[in-house]
Amino acid sequence: MIWGTVSKLTRVAHGVFYDAGRDQIVGSEPLASSVVTFDAGANGQVPPLRVLQGPKTQLHQPWGVAVDDLHHELVVGDYASSNILVYPWDANGDVAPIRTIGGVKTMMRGISDITVDPKDNLIIAVTMQSRTSAASGGGVYTSHYETAETQHPGGIFIFDRTANGDVKPKGMIFGPHTGIMATAQVQVADGKIFATVSNTPYQPPYNLAGTAPRAGCTGPPLPPLTMGSGNNFVGVWNVTDNGDVPPRFIIHGPSSQMVAPAGIAVNPKAGEVYVTDGGVGSTFTFLVPQAF
What was the pLDDT predicted at 50? Answer: 98
HSE-up of 281 (CA within 13 Å, CB side)? 0
What was the pLDDT predicted at 199? Answer: 81
What was the pLDDT predicted at 13? Answer: 82
Burial of residue 228 (CB within 10 Å: 0-12, 13-18, 19+) is middle
What was the pLDDT predicted at 20? Answer: 92
| Residue 153, SS3 per DSSP | strand
What was the pLDDT predicted at 150? Answer: 40
What was the pLDDT predicted at 140? Answer: 31
Q: Which residues pair with 211 in a beta bridge?
A: none
Beta-carbon contacts of 147 under 8 Å, excluding residues fewer than 6 positions away, are none
What was the pLDDT predicted at 86? Answer: 98
Q: Which domains does the chain have, with CATH numbers?
A: 1-101 (2.40.10.500), 104-292 (no CATH)
Q: Which residues pair with 39 in a beta bridge?
A: 24
User: Cα–Cα distance between 82 and 278 in angstroms, integer?
Assistant: 23
What was the pLDDT predicted at 142? Answer: 36
What was the pLDDT predicted at 203? Answer: 63
| Residue 57, SS3 per DSSP | helix
What is the model's pTM?
0.87
Full pLDDT tens readout for the chain, 292 residues: 999 999 999 888 889 999 999 999 999 999 999 999 999 999 999 999 999 999 999 999 999 999 999 999 999 999 999 999 999 999 999 999 999 999 999 999 999 999 999 999 999 999 987 654 333 333 333 333 333 334 467 899 999 999 999 999 999 999 999 999 889 999 999 999 999 998 876 666 777 667 788 787 776 655 555 555 668 999 999 999 999 999 999 999 889 999 889 999 999 999 999 999 988 889 999 999 999 9
